[in-house]
Amino acid sequence: MPVGEALLGRLIDVTGAPGDQGAPFPTDVPRRPIHRNPPPLSSKGDTTRIFATGIKVIDLLTPLAQGGKAAMFGGAGVGKTVLVMELIHAMVERYQGISVFAGVGERCREGHEMLTDMRGSGVLPRTVLVYGQMNEPPGARWRVPLTALTVAEYFRDERHQNVLLLMDNVFRFVQAGAEVSGLLGRLPSRVGYQPTLATEVAGLQERIVSVGEVSVTAIEAVYVPADDFTDPAVTAIAAHVDSMVVLSRSMAAEGMYPAIDPIASSSVLLDPLVVGDEHAQIAIEVRRAVEHYRELQDVISLLGVEELGADDRRIVGRARRLQRFLTQPFTVTEAFTGVPGRSVPIADTLAGCKAILAGECDAWQESSLYMIGALDEARERESKLSKDAPAQTPTPAPAAVSATP
């Protein structure tokens, strides 16, 4: 299939043929096979460099590795695709690298929307879109991630450029493999998946590595069927990733976007030797506060916050403020919400969480911390609210009524 600079800004199918009604590729364009062996272990580079995204909850609790693999796990409608789109913006604006997007089993509407949005935002000239639509044969959908990975490997190996590889949705890659397996007459394994599930997932994931100083960083959206995280496809994919970003349906229902579960999400990079002692300690304290709040939610729903002890009320208040501080407006949703997107440095995220944990925001309204960037923005909101609030005069206590015999 064709690879190289001629593909930048274009949409192609599994064979490398243009799918955007553009001009055909030159005859002298480089070509590579989509089935290749992973690089030898001796050539693999370091994967302990942090890939800063500007998204507070990810950078704080599930830091991504440059040259590593991260997966966004979640059911339908919790924000996986929006999160992937925002990370494309982060890569283009922060790192000036190449982005390769693999749409596995995508609807034609989704592909058209992404192509139009990228043209409007100016990120398309440094992006390659590879699509295998839902109506295509399972063999085509099964090989779309391999086509996208081949394009990414060319820019890594030949042009020595860092590449962000995004795949939406890896679960459909597994589904297509199950369809192919059924057509070949193979005996299905657990839950009807193909018997070669682990081999096929490993064959894709093991090619996503850093080589020397250049890297392919993979961010994968993974649909979780019926929100069942014990599904064989989900567990097979999770075994290969460095960072697990779990999206919660309950948080999405509360409007806490991005709806990332701070307890269920994890990263191998959240280690004091990698992120530093302060970062690791703040992340532990944030998780501890949120987990304590969740343990008390049943009591709160039955009896109310007033029935808690003073220490528990203080922890609950800080946990709720932390949850709202970790929400964030995205650039890709600005056209729908009217709220400009925010990109927050890791230092500002740590400073904000540290201040909330220390009690500096205990008297603030929770709404001041919702959908903001750094804590300074909440401080401005709070000062404005205090100025706009009308002066309240104390209501005199009613006179005591004496009881008559």
| pLDDT value of position 389 | 65
Lowest-confidence segment of 43-52, 238-247, 269-278 by average pLDDT = 43-52
H or E segment and range at residue 105: strand 98-106
pTM to 2 decimals? 0.89
- Residue 114 makes CB contacts below 8 A (sequence gap 6+) with 85, 101, 103, 129
Please state, in angstroms and as integers, the Cα–Cα distance from residue 185 to each residue in 180, 182, 190, 201, 233, following that order: 9, 5, 16, 20, 20
Please state, in angstroms and as integers, the Cα–Cα distance from residue 360 to each residue in 77, 182, 253, 351, following that order: 35, 60, 28, 11
| pLDDT value of position 364 | 93
Tokens 């596995």 -> residue: 104
Please state, in angstroms and as integers, the Cα–Cα distance from residue 4 to each residue in 26, 70, 166, 235, 337, following that order: 11, 25, 18, 34, 37
Q: How far is CA 47 from the centre of its chain?
A: 18
Query: What is the tens place of the pLDDT at every residue in 312-354?
Result: 999 999 999 999 999 999 988 888 888 999 999 999 999 999 9
List the catalytic residues: 80, 106-107
Query: What is the tens place of the pLDDT at every residue in 347-390?
Result: 999 999 999 999 999 999 999 999 999 999 999 998 888 777 66
Alpha-carbon distance of 50 to 275, in angstroms, equals 8
Taken in order of first residue, the domains within the chain and their CATH numbers are 5-22+45-271 (3.40.50.300), 277-375 (1.10.1140.10)
Q: Is the pLDDT of residue 401 over 70?
A: no
Query: What is the tens place of the pLDDT at every residue in 125-144?
Result: 889 999 998 899 999 999 99
Query: What is the tens place of the pLDDT at every residue in 59-96?
Result: 999 999 988 999 999 988 898 888 988 887 777 677 67
